[in-house]
Amino acid sequence: MKINKFFFLINSIWESLRFFLLFTAIVLTFRLIILIDRQAIFWLILSGSSQLLLPVGLIFLFINPEKNYILINIIRVGKILGIFASFLLILIEPLSRGLKPLSLKLFCFRLTPMALVLVITFFDLIFLFILLSYKKTIRENEDQGSLPDFKETKILESSEEQ
């Protein structure tokens, strides 16, 4: 599948937005811990900062897809790991007790952090499908169409030389 290189820019913007949305969901969920210990927010930033490698890699692909094509597999693995972590949270969250997260008011909707994770995971699956279907297209130059013509050279064996 041929993808317009602007897809990489859109996906990079999504990955940056995804980081901030997940960070907001975490802050809403662990608000009591953050109120008790203000420096706990730095632990959250530290644990999630590696997710910012995906937007940077996608920017590199946007700038020069042919040169930076090798990054596509790392980006795919990062996206798969992010979706795997989301699925784990979605499966394990109903078993937990005691966390009473705040809900976020978006437009006219009350959005809980778990609903936010579900929406993010849905969009991640769409972007993962597009990333997995991306294949590099090789451009052939006019002069690379066929091999150049060479005349055959006869090599004399040692018995023929005498």
Query: Helix or strand or coil: residue 106?
Result: strand
Residue 29 lies in a domain: yes
What pLDDT does residue 134 have? 81
Tokens encoding 82:
């992010």
Mean pLDDT of the chain: 80
- Is residue 151 a part of any domain in this protein? no
d(CA 91, CA 93): 6
Q: Which residue bears the tokens 């060479």?
A: 150
Model confidence at 125: pLDDT above 60: yes
Q: What is the domain count for the chain?
A: 1
What's the whole-number mean pLDDT along residues 60-79?
89
Question: Would you say residue 160 lies in a domain?
Answer: no
Q: Would 50 be classed as within a structural domain?
A: yes
Tens-place pLDDT, residues 133-143: 887 654 544 44
What is the predicted pLDDT for the residue at 146?
61
Residue 34 lies in a domain: yes
Does a structural domain hold residue 23?
yes
Strand-strand pairing, 104-106 and 109-111: antiparallel
What is the span of the domain harbouring residue 122?
6-135
Domain assignment present for 122: yes
- Is 123 contained in some domain? yes
Average pLDDT over residues 24-37: 83
Alpha-carbon separation of residue 47 from 41, 63, 149 (angstroms): 10, 28, 60
Cα gap 59→10, rounded to integer Å: 9
Residue 142 pLDDT: 46
